[in-house]
Amino acid sequence: MTQSQLPAIIANLPKVKSQEELHQALVQYRDQFNILIPPAMNFSSSLHAVALEPVFIDNTVDNFHNGPDIYSVDGGKSFTLHTRAANKIAAAAGIRWLRSEIKNRETDDDGRTTFIEHTVTWSIARPNGSVRQGEATGTYKMAEDKVRFNTKQAESRRHFAEGLAESNAKLRAIYDALDQLPRSMTRQDYAKPFIVPCVVDNFMDLVKDDPEMKRMMIAAKLGIQGQIYGDEHRPKAVVAQAEVVNDPPPETAAATTTASPTAPPSPDDKEAFTVFYRTRFVKEDLIGMIVSLIRDTAYAVAPGTTKPEDMDVVTLVEYLRHLTIRKNSQGGRSATKSNLPFPVEEGGR
Protein backbone atom coordinates (compact mmCIF):
# COMPACT_ATOMS: atom_id res chain seq x y z
CA MET A 1 0.00 0.00 0.00
CA THR A 2 1.39 3.39 -0.98
CA GLN A 3 1.00 6.66 0.85
CA SER A 4 -1.24 8.00 -1.94
CA GLN A 5 -3.80 5.27 -1.25
CA LEU A 6 -4.27 6.24 2.41
CA PRO A 7 -5.64 9.79 2.84
CA ALA A 8 -9.27 8.71 3.25
CA ILE A 9 -8.33 6.17 5.90
CA ILE A 10 -6.04 8.54 7.77
CA ALA A 11 -8.59 11.34 7.73
CA ASN A 12 -10.92 9.10 9.73
CA LEU A 13 -8.49 7.99 12.43
CA PRO A 14 -10.46 8.34 15.67
CA LYS A 15 -9.67 9.73 19.09
CA VAL A 16 -10.00 6.74 21.43
CA LYS A 17 -11.65 7.26 24.82
CA SER A 18 -12.48 3.74 26.03
CA GLN A 19 -11.27 0.17 25.91
CA GLU A 20 -14.11 -0.72 23.56
CA GLU A 21 -13.12 2.03 21.11
CA LEU A 22 -9.51 0.87 21.37
CA HIS A 23 -10.47 -2.69 20.47
CA GLN A 24 -12.50 -1.49 17.48
CA ALA A 25 -9.57 0.58 16.22
CA LEU A 26 -7.15 -2.33 16.54
CA VAL A 27 -9.46 -4.59 14.55
CA GLN A 28 -10.22 -1.95 11.90
CA TYR A 29 -6.67 -0.83 11.19
CA ARG A 30 -4.47 -3.85 11.87
CA ASP A 31 -4.19 -4.79 8.17
CA GLN A 32 -3.38 -1.31 6.84
CA PHE A 33 -0.94 -0.10 9.49
CA ASN A 34 1.85 -1.09 11.84
CA ILE A 35 0.00 -0.49 15.10
CA LEU A 36 2.06 0.60 18.11
CA ILE A 37 -0.92 0.55 20.46
CA PRO A 38 -1.02 -2.00 23.31
CA PRO A 39 -4.12 -4.26 23.34
CA ALA A 40 -5.31 -2.72 26.62
CA MET A 41 -4.96 0.75 28.16
CA ASN A 42 -6.31 2.35 31.34
CA PHE A 43 -8.93 4.96 30.41
CA SER A 44 -9.89 5.79 34.00
CA SER A 45 -9.44 9.55 33.47
CA SER A 46 -12.20 11.23 31.47
CA LEU A 47 -9.88 14.23 31.06
CA HIS A 48 -7.73 12.34 28.56
CA ALA A 49 -8.09 10.43 25.32
CA VAL A 50 -5.70 8.73 22.91
CA ALA A 51 -5.20 10.28 19.49
CA LEU A 52 -4.08 7.88 16.76
CA GLU A 53 -1.23 9.59 14.93
CA PRO A 54 -0.06 8.28 11.51
CA VAL A 55 3.68 8.22 10.77
CA PHE A 56 5.11 7.35 7.35
CA ILE A 57 8.49 5.67 7.05
CA ASP A 58 10.48 5.78 3.81
CA ASN A 59 11.43 2.16 3.07
CA THR A 60 13.61 2.88 0.05
CA VAL A 61 17.22 1.65 0.34
CA ASP A 62 20.34 1.61 -1.83
CA ASN A 63 22.48 -1.33 -2.96
CA PHE A 64 24.07 -1.40 0.49
CA HIS A 65 20.64 -1.83 2.15
CA ASN A 66 20.79 1.67 3.60
CA GLY A 67 18.08 4.31 3.20
CA PRO A 68 17.01 7.66 4.67
CA ASP A 69 14.81 6.02 7.33
CA ILE A 70 15.90 2.37 7.60
CA TYR A 71 19.02 0.22 7.24
CA SER A 72 20.07 -3.43 7.45
CA VAL A 73 23.09 -5.10 9.01
CA ASP A 74 22.26 -8.63 7.86
CA GLY A 75 22.29 -8.18 4.11
CA GLY A 76 18.69 -7.08 3.73
CA LYS A 77 16.92 -9.82 5.66
CA SER A 78 15.70 -7.39 8.32
CA PHE A 79 15.82 -3.64 8.78
CA THR A 80 15.82 -1.21 11.69
CA LEU A 81 15.12 2.49 12.06
CA HIS A 82 17.65 5.27 11.70
CA THR A 83 17.49 7.76 14.56
CA ARG A 84 15.84 10.30 12.24
CA ALA A 85 12.87 7.99 11.63
CA ALA A 86 12.63 6.91 15.27
CA ASN A 87 12.45 10.59 16.26
CA LYS A 88 9.42 11.06 13.99
CA ILE A 89 7.64 8.28 15.85
CA ALA A 90 8.74 9.68 19.22
CA ALA A 91 7.37 13.12 18.36
CA ALA A 92 4.04 11.64 17.28
CA ALA A 93 3.81 9.69 20.53
CA GLY A 94 4.42 12.81 22.63
CA ILE A 95 7.69 11.65 24.21
CA ARG A 96 9.26 14.53 26.12
CA TRP A 97 13.00 14.81 26.72
CA LEU A 98 13.47 16.03 30.28
CA ARG A 99 17.25 15.88 30.49
CA SER A 100 20.13 15.11 28.13
CA GLU A 101 23.70 15.14 29.41
CA ILE A 102 27.14 13.56 29.05
CA LYS A 103 27.93 11.35 32.05
CA ASN A 104 31.44 10.28 31.14
CA ARG A 105 34.10 11.17 28.59
CA GLU A 106 37.48 9.59 27.92
CA THR A 107 40.27 10.91 25.68
CA ASP A 108 43.58 9.68 24.34
CA ASP A 109 47.01 11.23 24.99
CA ASP A 110 46.32 13.84 22.31
CA GLY A 111 43.06 14.91 23.96
CA ARG A 112 40.87 13.34 21.28
CA THR A 113 37.64 11.67 22.31
CA THR A 114 37.73 7.88 22.59
CA PHE A 115 34.60 7.21 24.67
CA ILE A 116 31.42 9.06 25.64
CA GLU A 117 28.57 7.93 27.85
CA HIS A 118 25.41 10.00 27.38
CA THR A 119 22.18 9.77 29.38
CA VAL A 120 18.70 11.02 28.53
CA THR A 121 15.63 11.16 30.76
CA TRP A 122 12.22 10.93 29.11
CA SER A 123 8.53 10.98 29.97
CA ILE A 124 5.33 10.00 28.21
CA ALA A 125 1.73 10.61 29.26
CA ARG A 126 -0.72 7.81 30.02
CA PRO A 127 -4.47 7.99 29.37
CA ASN A 128 -5.22 7.55 33.09
CA GLY A 129 -3.60 10.92 33.77
CA SER A 130 -0.27 9.61 35.08
CA VAL A 131 3.15 10.11 33.52
CA ARG A 132 5.61 7.33 32.84
CA GLN A 133 9.29 8.24 33.08
CA GLY A 134 12.53 6.49 32.28
CA GLU A 135 16.23 6.90 31.62
CA ALA A 136 18.41 5.50 28.85
CA THR A 137 22.15 5.55 28.23
CA GLY A 138 23.99 5.55 24.92
CA THR A 139 27.68 5.45 24.11
CA TYR A 140 30.28 6.35 21.52
CA LYS A 141 33.34 4.06 21.39
CA MET A 142 36.21 4.84 19.07
CA ALA A 143 37.53 1.28 19.50
CA GLU A 144 34.32 -0.12 18.02
CA ASP A 145 34.39 2.38 15.13
CA LYS A 146 37.90 1.26 14.19
CA VAL A 147 36.57 -2.27 13.77
CA ARG A 148 33.40 -1.30 11.89
CA PHE A 149 34.79 1.44 9.62
CA ASN A 150 37.96 2.32 7.75
CA THR A 151 40.36 4.81 9.30
CA LYS A 152 39.01 7.85 7.44
CA GLN A 153 35.39 7.07 8.32
CA ALA A 154 36.24 6.38 11.96
CA GLU A 155 38.10 9.69 12.28
CA SER A 156 35.20 11.52 10.63
CA ARG A 157 32.72 10.04 13.08
CA ARG A 158 34.91 11.09 16.00
CA HIS A 159 34.08 14.73 15.22
CA PHE A 160 30.42 13.92 15.97
CA ALA A 161 31.05 11.74 19.02
CA GLU A 162 28.74 13.70 21.32
CA GLY A 163 25.85 13.61 18.86
CA LEU A 164 26.33 9.92 18.13
CA ALA A 165 26.23 9.05 21.83
CA GLU A 166 23.12 11.18 22.40
CA SER A 167 21.36 9.70 19.38
CA ASN A 168 22.17 6.22 20.63
CA ALA A 169 20.70 7.07 24.03
CA LYS A 170 17.53 8.56 22.53
CA LEU A 171 17.06 5.58 20.25
CA ARG A 172 17.17 3.24 23.24
CA ALA A 173 14.78 5.50 25.12
CA ILE A 174 12.26 5.46 22.27
CA TYR A 175 12.19 1.66 22.20
CA ASP A 176 11.82 1.64 26.00
CA ALA A 177 8.96 4.15 25.96
CA LEU A 178 7.08 2.50 23.09
CA ASP A 179 6.79 -1.15 24.03
CA GLN A 180 5.03 -2.07 20.79
CA LEU A 181 7.73 -0.68 18.47
CA PRO A 182 9.68 -3.61 16.96
CA ARG A 183 13.45 -3.25 16.89
CA SER A 184 13.58 -4.81 13.42
CA MET A 185 11.12 -5.55 10.61
CA THR A 186 11.17 -6.51 6.97
CA ARG A 187 11.44 -3.80 4.36
CA GLN A 188 7.88 -4.64 3.20
CA ASP A 189 6.55 -4.10 6.73
CA TYR A 190 8.01 -0.59 6.78
CA ALA A 191 5.98 0.21 3.66
CA LYS A 192 2.88 0.36 5.87
CA PRO A 193 2.44 3.55 7.93
CA PHE A 194 2.61 3.35 11.70
CA ILE A 195 -0.26 4.23 14.00
CA VAL A 196 1.21 5.82 17.10
CA PRO A 197 -0.84 6.48 20.26
CA CYS A 198 -0.57 9.97 21.74
CA VAL A 199 -2.37 10.97 24.94
CA VAL A 200 -4.22 14.27 24.51
CA ASP A 201 -6.50 16.45 26.62
CA ASN A 202 -10.20 15.64 26.38
CA PHE A 203 -11.42 18.87 27.95
CA MET A 204 -13.20 20.21 24.89
CA ASP A 205 -15.27 17.07 24.51
CA LEU A 206 -16.34 17.38 28.15
CA VAL A 207 -17.43 21.02 27.84
CA LYS A 208 -18.63 21.07 24.22
CA ASP A 209 -22.27 21.63 25.29
CA ASP A 210 -21.40 24.47 27.68
CA PRO A 211 -20.26 27.59 25.72
CA GLU A 212 -19.04 29.48 28.81
CA MET A 213 -16.99 26.55 30.13
CA LYS A 214 -15.55 26.07 26.65
CA ARG A 215 -14.56 29.75 26.55
CA MET A 216 -12.97 29.48 30.00
CA MET A 217 -10.98 26.38 29.04
CA ILE A 218 -9.63 28.01 25.89
CA ALA A 219 -8.61 31.08 27.87
CA ALA A 220 -6.86 28.94 30.48
CA LYS A 221 -4.99 26.95 27.84
CA LEU A 222 -3.81 30.14 26.11
CA GLY A 223 -2.85 31.75 29.42
CA ILE A 224 -5.05 34.80 28.75
CA GLN A 225 -7.74 34.28 31.39
CA GLY A 226 -6.59 37.43 33.20
CA GLN A 227 -7.16 39.58 30.11
CA ILE A 228 -10.65 38.10 29.54
CA TYR A 229 -11.98 37.80 33.08
CA GLY A 230 -9.75 40.14 35.05
CA ASP A 231 -7.43 38.89 37.78
CA GLU A 232 -10.11 39.12 40.46
CA HIS A 233 -12.47 36.96 38.38
CA ARG A 234 -9.89 34.50 37.13
CA PRO A 235 -11.50 31.02 36.88
CA LYS A 236 -9.20 29.38 39.43
CA ALA A 237 -10.94 25.99 39.44
CA VAL A 238 -10.65 25.62 35.70
CA VAL A 239 -7.07 26.88 35.61
CA ALA A 240 -6.08 24.54 38.42
CA GLN A 241 -7.59 21.59 36.58
CA ALA A 242 -5.67 22.50 33.41
CA GLU A 243 -2.41 22.90 35.34
CA VAL A 244 -2.71 19.52 37.09
CA VAL A 245 -2.70 17.74 33.74
CA ASN A 246 0.48 19.54 32.72
CA ASP A 247 2.34 19.20 36.03
CA PRO A 248 6.09 18.78 35.55
CA PRO A 249 7.70 15.58 36.82
CA PRO A 250 8.41 15.54 40.58
CA GLU A 251 12.16 16.12 40.27
CA THR A 252 11.67 19.32 38.24
CA ALA A 253 8.45 20.61 39.81
CA ALA A 254 10.14 22.75 42.47
CA ALA A 255 12.36 24.48 39.96
CA THR A 256 9.68 25.21 37.38
CA THR A 257 6.85 26.31 39.67
CA THR A 258 8.97 29.13 41.11
CA ALA A 259 10.75 30.14 37.93
CA SER A 260 7.95 32.38 36.61
CA PRO A 261 4.20 33.02 36.92
CA THR A 262 1.68 30.60 35.44
CA ALA A 263 0.50 32.96 32.69
CA PRO A 264 3.08 33.63 29.96
CA PRO A 265 4.58 37.14 30.01
CA SER A 266 3.70 39.57 27.27
CA PRO A 267 5.88 39.14 24.16
CA ASP A 268 6.61 42.86 24.44
CA ASP A 269 8.71 42.03 27.52
CA LYS A 270 11.40 40.19 25.60
CA GLU A 271 13.53 39.24 28.62
CA ALA A 272 10.65 37.85 30.70
CA PHE A 273 9.16 36.08 27.68
CA THR A 274 12.52 34.47 26.85
CA VAL A 275 13.13 33.29 30.43
CA PHE A 276 9.61 31.89 30.72
CA TYR A 277 9.76 29.74 27.58
CA ARG A 278 13.41 28.67 27.89
CA THR A 279 12.96 27.42 31.48
CA ARG A 280 9.57 25.75 31.10
CA PHE A 281 9.65 24.06 27.71
CA VAL A 282 11.93 21.69 25.83
CA LYS A 283 12.74 22.08 22.14
CA GLU A 284 9.98 19.71 20.99
CA ASP A 285 7.36 21.78 22.86
CA LEU A 286 8.58 25.03 21.32
CA ILE A 287 8.44 23.52 17.83
CA GLY A 288 4.87 22.36 18.44
CA MET A 289 3.76 25.83 19.55
CA ILE A 290 5.46 27.47 16.57
CA VAL A 291 3.86 25.09 14.07
CA SER A 292 0.47 25.75 15.68
CA LEU A 293 0.91 29.53 15.54
CA ILE A 294 2.06 29.39 11.91
CA ARG A 295 -1.18 27.59 11.10
CA ASP A 296 -3.44 29.74 13.28
CA THR A 297 -2.04 33.06 12.02
CA ALA A 298 -1.81 32.00 8.35
CA TYR A 299 1.88 32.88 8.48
CA ALA A 300 3.34 32.64 4.96
CA VAL A 301 6.83 31.28 5.55
CA ALA A 302 9.37 32.62 3.08
CA PRO A 303 11.13 30.19 0.72
CA GLY A 304 14.45 29.01 2.14
CA THR A 305 13.46 29.64 5.76
CA THR A 306 15.21 27.35 8.23
CA LYS A 307 12.84 24.70 9.54
CA PRO A 308 11.97 24.99 13.27
CA GLU A 309 13.47 21.56 14.01
CA ASP A 310 16.82 22.83 12.68
CA MET A 311 16.83 25.95 14.89
CA ASP A 312 18.46 26.22 18.29
CA VAL A 313 16.35 26.95 21.38
CA VAL A 314 17.31 30.66 21.48
CA THR A 315 16.11 31.17 17.92
CA LEU A 316 12.97 29.11 18.53
CA VAL A 317 11.95 31.30 21.47
CA GLU A 318 12.48 34.49 19.45
CA TYR A 319 10.51 32.96 16.57
CA LEU A 320 7.71 32.12 19.03
CA ARG A 321 7.75 35.68 20.38
CA HIS A 322 7.44 37.10 16.87
CA LEU A 323 4.51 34.81 16.07
CA THR A 324 2.82 35.62 19.38
CA ILE A 325 3.09 39.34 18.64
CA ARG A 326 1.59 38.66 15.24
CA LYS A 327 -1.29 36.70 16.82
CA ASN A 328 -1.96 39.48 19.34
CA SER A 329 -1.68 42.23 16.76
CA GLN A 330 -4.82 43.72 15.28
CA GLY A 331 -3.13 44.91 12.13
CA GLY A 332 -0.35 47.23 13.19
CA ARG A 333 2.27 45.84 15.51
CA SER A 334 4.80 43.21 14.47
CA ALA A 335 8.47 42.40 14.67
CA THR A 336 10.61 43.73 11.83
CA LYS A 337 12.89 41.89 9.49
CA SER A 338 15.99 43.63 10.78
CA ASN A 339 15.78 42.33 14.36
CA LEU A 340 14.87 38.72 13.65
CA PRO A 341 17.41 35.87 13.55
CA PHE A 342 15.36 34.03 10.92
CA PRO A 343 13.72 34.92 7.58
CA VAL A 344 10.34 36.63 7.79
CA GLU A 345 7.50 35.81 5.41
CA GLU A 346 7.24 37.72 2.19
CA GLY A 347 5.40 41.01 2.62
CA GLY A 348 7.55 42.32 5.48
CA ARG A 349 5.55 41.29 8.54
Residue 230: what pLDDT?
58
Rounded Cα distance between 211 and 190, Å, is: 44
SS (H, E, C) 37-93: CCCCCCCCCCCEEEEEEEECCCCCCCCCCECCCEECCCCCCCEEECHHHHHHHHHHH
CA angle centred on 179, ends 184 and 39, rounded to 5°: 110
Q: Name residue 136's beta-bridge partners.
A: 120
Dist CA 52 CA 33 (whole Å): 11
Does residue 290 have a pLDDT over 50? Answer: yes
How does residue 154 score in pLDDT terms, banded at 50, 70 and 90?
very high
User: Above 80 in pLDDT, residue 49?
Assistant: yes
Q: Which amino acid is present at 165?
A: A
Mean pLDDT over 284-293 rounds to: 82
Q: What is the pLDDT of residues 8-17, one digit of tens each?
A: 455 568 788 8
For residue 109, pLDDT over 80 is answered with yes
Q: What is the reported pLDDT for 257? A: 35
Report the C-alpha gap between 349 and 346 in whole angstroms: 7
Coil, strand, or helix at residue 138? strand
Lowest pLDDT segment from 51-60, 132-141, 195-204: 195-204
Give the residue ranges of DSSP H helices in the chain.
Answer: 7-11, 19-29, 83-93, 142-148, 151-158, 161-177, 203-207, 211-222, 225-229, 236-245, 250-257, 270-280, 283-296, 313-328
Predicted pLDDT of residue 297: 77
Report whether pLDDT(66) > 50. Answer: yes
Per-residue pLDDT band for 122 (boundaries 50, 70, 90) equals very high
Half-sphere exposure in the Cβ direction for 146 (13 Å, CA): 5
Starting at the edge strand that comes first in sequence, how are the strands of the sheet with 96-107 ordered?
Answer: 96-107, 113-125, 131-141
Pick from 5-9, 25-29, 58-62: least confident: 5-9
Q: What pLDDT, on a 0 to 100 scale, did the predictor assign at position 229?
A: 57
Percent of the chain residues topping a pLDDT of 90: 42
